[in-house]
């Protein structure tokens, strides 16, 4: 892993005065916290800035911090092919979780965001095709949330599942978005 690059927080602070918190450098990755409203601007800036050149989106990851608040988090891992730097952007999300999609910045975000939607129910606004990716159409609930039982809910196909109906989320349609 490459060493710490003080240029990264300086460049970000110069462009986004305040708003982006520097969470420090650990294990080869510099971490930042950004509000969800700024995520697209920040990503576009990081990708297009000629010094930083974070042109490669490694991963988007959903996290459920139940029962803490803010409960959800979208975590972005970016890599700069030219500078060999890695950064992490953490984006705390309320309940129900919503965050603008970065599919307009990187096409690879498409499946990562579909996965986070499928597993955590994080709604990526502006995603062109936000369907479930692993679970089948019509599946109820979001399996990787902390309050979703490990063995799922009991039904005819799953006799070992937990008792009780799946939690209903009136605010969020758990069905596929047409």
Task: Provide the 3-class DSSP secondary structure of residue 22.
Answer: strand
Number of shown-chain residues binding other proteins (CB under 8 A): 40
Cβ of residue 136: shortest distance to other proteins, in angstroms? 7
Tell me which DSSP letter residue 101 carries: -
Task: Tokens 């092919």: give the residue.
Answer: 81
Q: CA-CA distance, 90 to 95, in Å (whole number)? A: 16
Determine which helix (DSSP H) or strand (DSSP E) holds 78, and give its type and residue range: strand 72-80
Cβ of residue 99: shortest distance to other proteins, in angstroms? 16
- Name the token pair of 112: 């990562």
Contact in structure between 33 and 92 (CB atoms under 8 Å): yes
Query: Taking CB under 8 A as the criterion, which residues in 16-55 touch other proteins?
Result: 26-29, 31, 55
* Ordered strands of the 21-26 beta sheet: 21-26, 29-33, 85-93, 72-80, 56-64
Cβ of residue 31: shortest distance to other proteins, in angstroms? 8
Cβ of residue 60: shortest distance to other proteins, in angstroms? 9
Cβ of residue 119: shortest distance to other proteins, in angstroms? 8
Query: Taking CB under 8 A as the criterion, which residues in 127-146 touch other proteins?
Result: 128-129, 131-136, 143-144
Q: Does 58 bind other proteins (CB under 8 A)?
A: yes
Residues of this chain that interact with other proteins (CB under 8 A) are 1-2, 26-29, 31, 55-59, 61, 63-64, 75, 77, 81, 84, 86, 88, 106-108, 110-112, 115, 119, 128-129, 131-136, 143-144, 150
């Amino acid at each position: 892993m490459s060493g710490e690059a003080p240029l990264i927080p300086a460049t970000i602070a110069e462009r986004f005065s305040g708003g982006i918190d520097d969470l420090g450098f650990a294990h080869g990755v510099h971490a930042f916290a950004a509000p969800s409203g700024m995520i697209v601007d920040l990503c576009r800036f990081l990708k297009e800035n000629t010094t930083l050149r974070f042109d490669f989106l490694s991963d988007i990851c959903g996290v459920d911090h139940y029962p803490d608040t803010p409960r959800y988090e979208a975590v972005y891992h970016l890599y700069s092919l030219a500078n060999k730097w890695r950064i992490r952007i953490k984006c705390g999300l309320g309940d129900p979780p919503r965050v603008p999609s970065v599919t307009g910045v990187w096409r690879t975000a498409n499946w990562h965001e579909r996965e986070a939607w499928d597993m955590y129910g994080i709604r990526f606004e502006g995603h062109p095709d936000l369907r479930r990716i692993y679970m089948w159409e019509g599946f109820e609930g979001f399996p990787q949330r902390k309050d979703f039982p490990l063995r799922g809910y009991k039904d005819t196909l799953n006799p070992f599942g937990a008792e009780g109906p799946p939690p209903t989320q009136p605010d969020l349609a758990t069905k596929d978005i047409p």
